[in-house]
Structure 1
Amino acid sequence: MALVWRLGVLTMVGMSGFHGAQPALAAGGILMTSVGAKEKGMGGAGLALPQDAVAPINNPASTVEVGDQVSFGGTVVLSQPAMNVEGTGAGPFPLAEGKWDAAERYFTVPYLSATKRIDDRWSAGFSAYGLFGLGVSYPAEARPGCPAGLPGTGPLCAGKTTLDTSALFISPTIAYRITPRTSVGLSPSLVYGQFRARGFAALAAFGASSDPAHVTDLRSDESLGFAAKIGLHHQGESFSFGLTYQTEADMRPYGKYRGLLPEGANLDLPAVLAGGIAWRVAQGLDLVADAKYVLYSGVPAFSNRFVVPLGGGPQLGTDEAAGFGWNDQLMLHFGAQQRLGDGIAVRAGYSYTDRLSPASEGLLNALAPATFRHGFSGGFSVDLAQALTLDAAIVWSPPVAADGRNGLSPGQTVSMTNAATEFAFGLSYAW
């Protein structure tokens, strides 16, 4: 089976080009609730329930529990963002009153992972997967009240307004069994990111940016960075648990957009602390629960509060410039899995996330509405052959309104909504 292992690694390396062309949408902030189809069917939980080669993505330490496997698959995400503006407003930049529906979009987020048992204590893995991302696009509809010199269409008067970012992780894994039931693991990661912004010319035209030539409409920019994830896993007879910590991804700044984002477009990816439990209640029935804490406060582009970049305020692109104003976020995931026999299993789950930003942060968050709070999911697995399993899942995140204020127009309220449906699939082969 050495040939299968080598083919898996080569395919994962090739995937980096495929994912890099696709912006990904997150299910909580910019962090997807999970990667594999099994976990998505259980509300994103499963960190302490290793079942296939997705295990090193969830928790590097659990790699020792799955033997020799290859898993691949992906998620198709359909999103429907919108914002509603109330009040005529005043000040430097009021938005047009009424409802703005963003274009309905779909994104693909693939993954591929392989695991290899080295001996009784050591196991290794190699993975490529999308984990962070956000995408929204408002059409170039005509709007009144635009300053002279701008096209006069789109929410910001500068035509179609688009904001896309995505990240691909390429991660080798090493795991070591320190006792018969407890293991530790490490996954260093090379991170490839993309960022693109369109329709922000108004921010460059009136002195709001420290570098007006590098604000908008400059095609996609690319970045490389590094991160690492460490994990602990305990596999009990009926109760298991796991803990992981993923470091902040230190990314190279997106130089094309150094006049738009804080710190010259230094868009690092936040650190994530996670824990999970799995309980085998009865033969074939597992209950799982995970919690994640996403540390957006460590990344100024996400955590900086909105400040008016005019009249002596910090200009866009500087260290203290306006960001999204996001708080650290708690994500909770709950799920169940029932094996029915004949190689069939069914799953159900629910996820909950904190609100990301206070009401003062309405303007930029309306242009990138990561407002998801609840997710409902279901899924199944079926054995296609003795060593080949097909997984499928669907996740529905209903629209939830988040009201905020337009920081550039006192008295104007912006209500943001976003709904998403995810269709996930996966194939796993073990030998």
Structure 2
Amino acid sequence: MKFTRVFAFMALAGLAGSAFATNGYFSHGYGMKAKGMAGAATASSDDAFGGANNPASMAFAGNRIDLGADLFSPVREASRAGGGLNGTSESNSEYFLVPEFGYNRMVNNNLALGVTVYGNGGMNTNYPANLGSNILGGSGKLGVNLVQLVVAPTAAYQIAPNHSIGISPLIGYERFKAYGLQAFGMNSTDNTNLTNRGDSDDAFGYGVRIGYMGKITPTVTIGAAYASKMNFSRFKKYQGLFAEQGDFDIPENYNLGVAWQATPAVKLALDYQRINFNGVASVGNIAATSLIPANVAAGLGLGADAGSGFGWDDVNVWKLGMEYKYSQKLTLRAGVSHADNPINGADFGEAMFNILAPAVIENHATLGFTYTLASGNEMTMAYMHGFENDVSGADPFFGGTDKIKMYQNSLGFQYSWKM
């Protein structure tokens, strides 16, 4: 009954909307314990979020339910100078509730079965109109909303004492809508399925994550996980916007981690993550392709296989976290992370195209704690600040220079039941 209630809450809240744009459009971490340590969790087994971090960790996580939610606040701004439609526009949508859920059950001493449900990420902007026109020349307000929810049933098995492997089939749901892009009508292969299509369109997808975890000494644990590209069905309402006729997949990614119990009270964790955005055409294709009239005439308009994407590069992410056991009941956490910027403003038209998704954050700092109740259940909180960053580039439509910038904050709470 407890599992059913929290899973239903998670599913409903997840569909209500989310918008992450921290490391590209991936979250900086999954699970509040990981988020308090800047996302460094590949070699940790403190919760039931192995389906998002490292499936092998569930073999050491014990029987538990983790239910959490982040109040996420990205502040986005776009401006143009030296061309047409000069000015500054700020996205109005600044607060999003992003839930996550994990469940784990030890079938025996070696085998664990569970499920992780999480918002992988998303893109959301909502720029107002000024005298009827928005900053990209369309009518009315301008924006997009992309929500991605992943369900990851997980099995983990200790193949030897202190060594485990795990697998999580990934079942994905995403929805998308866009409005205010009328100015791109001449650049689209299908301008009737480009913008302002009413209700959000839906897509379903699948993939897999596999992992390994090993406690190689009494104080050192290592971990590794790999997730395939999640292939989704197409957004038919937006087949004139996204490359490959409305296709929008979640890219292949992998992570490596090590955790060192430096003292009985202090643990340090270091993660490396690679996200291959360039392998998803709608994200990685060159932004300027469909902005050049000759290319549009040659069939390379928006929505074509080689049509414009957001021009994002593959990124490397480094995460360093520290955990301090202050007392039997209170554990404190802190972390920092650095990610490559997927947006290269020097590429022609890229800053303009990414007004829709200004995912330019590179550096994060986090704090967190867990308090253990007399029952053994836990309350965990985590705070994140994404430091302001900006990217500028030449505008191919209106001339002059476009500039996009963003900073972020999030505050999350998680309650965990030990069973």
Q: Is the counterpart of residue 234 in structure 1 residue 222 in structure 2? A: no
Contact 1:243 1:276 in 2 (8 A): yes
Q: 1:347 aligns with which of 333, 341, 344?
A: 333
| Counterpart amino acid of residue 226 in structure 1 | Y
**Map 1:266-345 → 2, pairs under 5 A:** 266-305=247-286, 306-307=288-289, 308-313=291-296, 314-345=300-331
Superposition TM-score, scaled by structure 2 size: 0.94
Q: 2:376 aligns with which of 387, 399, 409?
A: 387
Contact 1:325 1:357 in 2 (8 A): yes
| Counterpart amino acid of residue 415 in structure 2 | L
| Counterpart amino acid of residue 343 in structure 1 | K
Cross-structure match for 2:203 = 223
Q: 1:416 aligns with which of 385, 404, 407?
A: 404
**Map 1:59-138 → 2, pairs under 5 A:** 59-88=54-83, 94=84, 96-138=85-127
| Counterpart amino acid of residue 170 in structure 2 | S
Tell me the number of residue pairs that the alignment of Structure 1 and Structure 2 aligns: 409
Contact 1:41 1:394 in 2 (8 A): yes
**Distance across 2 between alignment mates of 1:59 and 1:115:** 13
Contact 2:78 2:405 in 1 (8 A): yes
**Distance across 2 between alignment mates of 1:296 and 1:221:** 22
Give the secondary structure class of the aligned counterpart of 1:55.
coil
| Counterpart amino acid of residue 318 in structure 2 | L
| Counterpart amino acid of residue 214 in structure 2 | H
Change (3 A) 1:132 1:55: same
**Distance across 2 between alignment mates of 1:23 and 1:71:** 19
Cross-structure match for 1:372 = 361
Q: Is the counterpart of residue 167 in structure 1 residue 140 in structure 2? A: no
Change (3 A) 1:119 1:196: same
Give the secondary structure class of the aligned counterpart of 2:262.
strand
Kindly state the Cα deviation for residue 153 of structure 1 after the two structures are TM-superposed: 4.0
Contact 1:242 1:277 in 2 (8 A): yes
| Counterpart amino acid of residue 265 in structure 1 | G
The runs of 5 or more residues in structure 1 that have no matched partner are 89-93, 143-150
Cross-structure match for 2:415 = 427
Kindly state the Cα deviation for residue 366 of structure 1 after the two structures are TM-superposed: 2.1
Give the secondary structure class of the aligned counterpart of 2:326.
strand
Kindly state the Cα deviation for residue 429 of structure 1 after the two structures are TM-superposed: 1.2
Give the secondary structure class of the aligned counterpart of 1:38.
helix
The runs of 5 or more residues in structure 2 that have no matched partner are none
**Distance across 2 between alignment mates of 1:152 and 1:58:** 43
Kindly state the Cα deviation for residue 57 of structure 1 after the two structures are TM-superposed: 2.8
Superposition TM-score, scaled by structure 1 size: 0.92
**Distance across 1 between alignment mates of 2:50 and 2:415:** 14
Q: 2:161 aligns with which of 158, 171, 180?
A: 180
Cross-structure match for 1:51 = 46
**Distance across 2 between alignment mates of 1:152 and 1:164:** 19
| Counterpart amino acid of residue 430 in structure 1 | K
**Distance across 2 between alignment mates of 1:153 and 1:102:** 11
| Counterpart amino acid of residue 363 in structure 1 | M
Q: 2:23 aligns with which of 13, 28, 47?
A: 28
Cross-structure match for 1:147 = none
**Map 1:1-16 → 2, pairs under 5 A:** 7-8=2-3, 11-12=6-7, 15-16=10-11
Kindly state the Cα deviation for residue 211 of structure 1 after the two structures are TM-superposed: 0.9
Cross-structure match for 2:191 = 212
Post-superposition Cα deviations, 1:100-135, rounded to whole Å, max 9, x if no partner, equal: 222141111111111011112211111211112111
**Distance across 1 between alignment mates of 2:195 and 2:395:** 20
Post-superposition Cα deviations, 1:190-209, rounded to whole Å, max 9, x if no partner, equal: 100011101111212xx211
Post-superposition Cα deviations, 1:171-202, rounded to whole Å, max 9, x if no partner, equal: 11011111101100000011000111011112
**Distance across 1 between alignment mates of 2:101 and 2:4:** 9
Give the secondary structure class of the aligned counterpart of 1:105.
coil
**Distance across 1 between alignment mates of 2:301 and 2:409:** 37
Contact 1:13 1:128 in 2 (8 A): no
**Distance across 1 between alignment mates of 2:276 and 2:201:** 24
**Distance across 1 between alignment mates of 2:356 and 2:327:** 47
Post-superposition Cα deviations, 1:336-380, rounded to whole Å, max 9, x if no partner, equal: 000011400111110111011222111111221001011111111
**Distance across 2 between alignment mates of 1:407 and 1:187:** 44
Kindly state the Cα deviation for residue 408 of structure 1 after the two structures are TM-superposed: 2.6
Contact 1:9 1:114 in 2 (8 A): no
Contact 1:275 1:291 in 2 (8 A): yes
Cross-structure match for 1:148 = none
Contact 1:169 1:190 in 2 (8 A): yes
**Distance across 2 between alignment mates of 1:234 and 1:342:** 26
Sequence identity percentage = 26
Kindly state the Cα deviation for residue 12 of structure 1 after the two structures are TM-superposed: 2.1
Change (3 A) 1:156 1:16: farther
Kindly state the Cα deviation for residue 326 of structure 1 after the two structures are TM-superposed: 0.5
**Distance across 2 between alignment mates of 1:33 and 1:86:** 32
Kindly state the Cα deviation for residue 409 of structure 1 after the two structures are TM-superposed: 4.1
Post-superposition Cα deviations, 1:51-102, rounded to whole Å, max 9, x if no partner, equal: 12223432100101011111010111111100221212xxxxx4x2222222
Kindly state the Cα deviation for residue 14 of structure 1 after the two structures are TM-superposed: 5.5
